Structure 1
Amino acid sequence: MGKSARTERSRYESEVAAYVAAGGDEQVQRVITAVHGLARRLSQWYTQQLSHHDLSPGEWAVLRHLAAESDDNVSTPSQLADATAVAPSSMTHRLDRMAERGLISRTPDAENRTRILVQLTRQGWDMFRQVIREGDLVESDVLAQVPTAQRARLAQLLELAIAGLDDALK
């Protein structure tokens, strides 16, 4: 079977078998490999979806951070650079492009005039909502194979794994 003809399922089975043969615990490898495969495929789809909106993954990271992770939906360029793992100079260029498109606004901080505050504009919020709604359709399709009654349990189990990440990865 050529690489282009491989299904995600066959890739998963091959990877799990290789990891177990190398000494990995089968249950651990089944879970981690499945989560990684799902994340990989979703990432490919998200990148394609974002390009339809003329958004780069980096710009999406800024929108997502401002909408969901920053205090009061306001952040500084340095905080955004740190949150998205880019150099501050790269963040400046990214924010320039986003401001030109009307997705974000930049204003001086009234308490510290040397600091700039970045926040989503109405247009930025509209873009965020549109991307989320479109993504929700694909994500729903991904979960179509999981019975509705078991989705809450799956979410609980994954949340348990996430809860341990901060301690496990220190």
Structure 2
Amino acid sequence: MAVDVAVNGGVGSIISISNFAFEILAFEASVRQSRMAAARRRSIRDQHAQDVATYVAAGGEESVQRVITGLYAVTRKLDQWYQRQFVDLSLSQGEWAVLSALARAPEGCLTPSHLADRSSVAPSSMTHRLDKMSARGLLERRPDEANRTRTLVSLTDDGWALFSTAIREANVVESETLAALSDAERHELARLLEAVITGLDDSEG
């Protein structure tokens, strides 16, 4: 066919046909990607339904299992993305735990022993972790003015900037996760989850 076109239509016709063929291939690739995305969505939904049915058959209450299994499925999917984000930010999960704990600390600082307790690691392991993060300029250590035997750890400006970058990037993915819900539905879901959290506080009291 290329020979016929070259004789009858010239090089311009060959280029036109090549462009048309490229557009067809691009369209087919787009369709395949859409189908693969739909298949992934179906597989998550189908896996959730199967898990719920299994737990109910084993004696679980359906309404409870639908909620708890659903929460687990969402958390597991987000965790997969968070792990990739840690790699992109050159952070280990343990280092992220330190960043997050310091960013959320009421006074903006914690002791190394407090950080070790929160992370369930030995103090020596936490010291090594803090050394690495300090070398990157993410945190600083200083004596506690109220108790000179204690050391306080806090984020540097670079540490806070990295934490803020991670949160903004994650918020994009988290928003996409909730894209199927309207604003009103998001607020209602948040209200219900906060009621569950309040119940956890009451049960521990």
Alignment of 1:36-115 (within 5 A): 36-68=72-104, 70-115=105-150
TM superposition shift of 1:162: 1.3
Corresponding residue SS for 2:142: strand
Q: 2:194 aligns with which of 159, 164, 168?
A: 159
> Which range moves more in the overlay, 130-139 or 77-86?
77-86
Deviation track 1:99-125 (CA, whole Å, cap 9, x = no partner) reads 010000011112222211000000000
Query: Is 1:145 equivalent to 2:204 in the alignment?
Result: no
> Which range moves more in the overlay, 157-166 or 15-24?
157-166
Q: Distance in 2 between matches of 1:24 and 1:12?
A: 14
Bigger Cα Rg: 2
Q: Distance in 2 between matches of 1:5 and 1:134?
A: 22
Corresponding residue SS for 1:119: strand
TM superposition shift of 1:5: 10
Corresponding residue SS for 1:106: strand
**Identity percentage over the alignment?**
53
Q: Distance in 2 between matches of 1:18 and 1:129?
A: 41
- CA distance change for structure 1 residues 139 and 5 in 2, over 3 Å: closer, same or farther? closer
Deviation track 1:113-149 (CA, whole Å, cap 9, x = no partner) reads 2211000000000001100000010001000011222
TM superposition shift of 1:58: 1.1
Q: Which has the higher contact order (CA 8 A, sep 6+)?
A: 1
Runs of 4 or more, structure 1, over 3 Å off, are: 166-170
Q: Distance in 1 between matches of 2:43 and 2:133?
A: 37
Q: Distance in 2 between matches of 1:153 and 1:85?
A: 34
Q: Distance in 2 between matches of 1:108 and 1:161?
A: 40
Match of 2:64 in 1: 28
TM-score, length of structure 2 as denominator length:
0.76
Corresponding residue SS for 2:121: coil
TM superposition shift of 1:168: 3.6
Structure 1: tracts of 5 or more residues without a match = none
> Which range moves more in the overlay, 114-123 or 80-89?
80-89
TM superposition shift of 1:169: 5.8
- CA distance change for structure 1 residues 50 and 120 in 2, over 3 Å: closer, same or farther? same
Q: Distance in 2 between matches of 1:33 and 1:53?
A: 30
Structure 2 counterpart of 1:71, one-letter code? P
Question: How many residues of Structure 1 are paired with residues of Structure 2 in the alignment?
Answer: 166
Q: Distance in 2 between matches of 1:151 and 1:6?
A: 22
Corresponding residue SS for 2:149: coil
Match of 1:127 in 2: 162
Structure 2 counterpart of 1:99, one-letter code? S
